Amino acid sequence: MERFVLFPGRHHLLTRFQASYLRGLAGDGGRTVVWAVTSANHQNTKRNPVGYDRRQAAIERFSVQEGLRSLVVPVFDTAHTDRFADVTLKSVESVLGHTLTPQDTVVACSTPEVAAMYAELGFAIAGVEAEQDPAPDRPWDVLLRLAAGDQAWRDLAHPASLDVYGRYRLEEQVAQVVNDPVVGEEGGLTTTRDYRTYAEAFEASAERKWDMVRRHVRPGRIVDVGCGAGAVLALADREPALRESDLIGVEVARHLFEECVHRKAQGWFTNPNVYFYCRNVLGGAVFAPRSVDTTLTFALTHEIWSYGRRMESLRRFAQAIYDHTVPGGVWINSDVCGPDNRGLRVRLALQGAAGVAPAAPADLTGLSRDQIAALVEGLPARARLERFAADFHFPLPFDARPDGTVDIALSDAMEFLTHKDYPDNWLSEAHEQFCGLEFADWKALLTDIGFEVDGASHSWRNDWIVEHRLAPVAELSSQDGTPLPWPDTHVLLVARRPLNT
């Protein structure tokens, strides 16, 4: 009867200690080591910085060098469950066609909570690092040493990992992902975002966005940064004039990136030169200098402003785009923006009374997304302003007036009015400032970096938002009560790198 060691884990990095331990464990009876590589469908996230293919390559090399007979099984990530051990065993069975049992398998696991799940199923447990005194560095601790710049990681890592990390330049990638101040553990900007809702919104607006920018696109290497689920690139793919172009999507959110890859596999694109990267553009350059003809960004720059360090991060991003743009190339940016004369004091009249719903907590982070949505939807516009001011990650001061209106800066009024209708993603939207820059600020920034701002650039007002979301519940007026028109809400920027640069 063949005997096995089941070794579940993420296995992003292998250690010298693991080698000596597994040689002893597997050598007793000539056991085959079954590496159950969990989160195999994740990469470029803080929790899972290394892709499954690279992890498997290191395991195979490790096994050859250590004289171990190994089988490597990918285990896709699942929601937290007390049946994790069962899920892993079934994944192994589906790949290998063999059911591991307590009679033929010992489980090597250093995480007490996980080991307990296997023990409950009757498996004997080998504690790996957990049974040593003093306990050696676990693989994740070694990886964190790498990310911190501690070169001692090289003395602890197995030569197989050193080789794969070196050949595929993973050291720099891992350090960048783990130290990323913006992206969360699961590869998104915020854990409170419903990416299904966002993907649906991208799909609904893709044709409008493409119609707005298509005449400005320069053929060649076309990059959509923050491409969502790839809907705009799919429209670019249908353009006869772009059939010889490379279409490249860059998306930081793992959920959306995976949808892009899936769609490519399903035949969404006819152009063979369509590529997707899961990257955070704030982490450093993605493309070589002077290598991109057209860069597209839709509803992205306000996120860079909001999740980064405002103008510092936005300037660094704009500079990176300038650097990777060929002379004569173009950056087309469509996003929300602040109104002209952002600091103007105005009166804002809102439907309903002040105050918040009874028993509403000061901090909503302990509630589910559905509970928050229900709470926000139950508030009239005036009460919703107070809720938003409490949850918004930026200052939003206002003063209540005796006549029921509020005294507020024009940009803050528009900040609330353009956020208030997102109850399903309330806390996620509360991280994002829409009105940080007005059109004049954008022109000054782009010109200072070296771009030429095309005459097609302009700010504009989304009248659908005015008609359906603003006018029914709100009125703007000057301090003397004179009604004010609704200001611009969006910007289109067409910025070209001069030919002589």
HEC per residue, 333-399: EEEECCCCCCCCEEEEEECCCCCCCCCCCCCCCCCCHHHHHHHHHCCCHHHHHHHHHHHCCCCCCCE
pTM, whole model, 2 decimals? Answer: 0.74
d(CA 192, CA 207): 27
Give the chain's radius of gyration (CA, Å).
27
What element of type H or E holds 248? strand 246-250
The full length of the chain comes to 501
From residue 383, give the alpha-carbon distance in Å to each of 252, 356, 425: 34, 5, 18
Q: Two tokens at 92?
A: 């192994």
In the numeric block, the tokens 């080998």 are attached to 126
For CA atoms 198, 200, 203, 204, give the dihedral sign: negative
Q: Determine contact, residues 489/337, Cβ cutoff 8 Å.
A: yes
* Torsion angle defined by CA atoms of residues 445, 206, 372 and 468, in that order, rounded to the nearest 10 degrees: 90
What element of type H or E holds 202? helix 195-213
- Compute the C-alpha angle 325/329/332, nearest 5°: 90
Q: In a structure prediction context, what are the per-residue pLDDT tens digits for the chain, which is 501 residues long?
A: 789 999 999 999 999 999 999 999 998 668 999 999 999 988 877 888 999 999 999 999 999 999 999 999 999 987 778 889 999 999 999 999 999 999 999 999 999 999 999 999 999 999 999 999 899 999 999 999 999 999 999 999 999 999 999 999 999 889 888 886 554 444 444 444 444 555 566 677 899 999 999 999 999 999 999 999 999 999 999 999 999 999 999 998 888 888 999 999 999 999 999 999 888 776 666 788 999 999 999 999 999 999 888 999 999 999 999 999 999 999 999 999 999 999 999 999 999 877 655 556 778 888 999 999 999 999 999 999 999 999 999 999 999 999 999 999 999 999 999 999 999 999 999 999 999 999 999 999 999 999 999 999 999 999 999 999 999 999 999 999 999 999 999 999 999 999 999
DSSP label at 243? T
Residue 77, classed as helix, strand or coil, is: coil
In the numeric block, the tokens 């060098």 are attached to 65
Q: Determine contact, residues 236/213, Cβ cutoff 8 Å.
A: no
pLDDT at 333: 98
What element of type H or E holds 231? helix 231-237
pLDDT at 30: 86
pLDDT at 192: 46
